C-alpha cells in the first residue's frame, strides 16, 4: 500500500507574502456578474457608451453592490490574449470600485484593439466612458 502522508518540503510551499498579496488583489464574488440573464438585461435595457477599446453598458438595479461583467470574444485573440485582457479590465475595476455608485450592473465588451492597448490607455478610456455614463460618485 502506498503511503500518501508524505512530509511537505519547504520548496513546495508558497511564500506567505505571495499568498497574502494574491488574497488582497482578488475580486470578491459579489462584485462580478455571473449569470447570462444579468448580461442580457444590461445589454437590452441599459445605457451604453462606446470607445475604441471597449463598450461599457450600465443598468441601475436593486442590488446591494455594483457588479461588473466582462465579455472578450475570440476576435480579440487567442486564449492567452483574452485572459490577459480580462485581467487588465478586472484590475481597473478593482481600483475604481470605491468611486462607483452603488446598485449598478456594468458590462464591458472588449474590442480587438483592447488586446494591444496599454493599461494606462484602458484606464483613461474607462474614466472617459464612466463620466459619460455618470457611474462615478465624485468626479475623477
Domains, the chain, with CATH or none: 31-133 (3.30.230.10)
**Which region among 19-28, 43-52, 96-105 has the lowest average model confidence (pLDDT)?**
19-28
State the pTM of this model.
0.77
- The cell for 102 is 452603488
| Burial tier of 140 (Cβ tally within 10 Å: 0-12, 13-18, 19+) | exposed
pLDDT tens-digit readout, 36-62? 898 899 889 999 999 999 999 999 988
Burial of 84 (0-12, 13-18, 19+ CB in 10 A): middle
Amino acid at each position: 500500500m502506498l503511503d500518501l502522508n508524505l512530509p511537505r518540503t519547504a520548496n513546495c510551499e508558497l511564500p506567505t507574502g505571495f499568498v497574502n498579496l494574491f488574497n488582497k488583489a482578488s475580486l470578491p464574488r459579489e462584485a462580478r456578474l455571473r449569470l447570462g440573464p444579468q448580461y442580457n438585461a444590461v445589454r437590452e435595457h441599459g445605457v451604453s457608451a462606446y470607445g475604441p477599446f471597449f463598450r461599457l453598458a450600465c443598468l441601475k438595479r436593486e442590488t446591494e453592490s455594483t457588479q461588473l461583467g466582462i465579455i472578450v470574444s475570440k476576435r480579440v485573440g487567442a486564449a492567452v490574449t483574452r485572459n490577459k485582457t480580462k485581467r487588465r479590465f478586472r484590475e481597473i475595476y478593482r481600483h475604481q470600485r470605491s468611486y462607483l455608485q452603488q446598485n449598478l450592473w456594468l458590462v464591458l465588451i472588449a474590442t480587438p484593439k483592447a488586446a494591444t492597448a496599454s493599461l494606462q490607455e484602458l484606464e483613461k478610456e474607462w474614466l472617459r466612458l464612466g463620466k459619460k455614463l455618470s457611474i462615478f460618485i465624485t468626479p475623477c
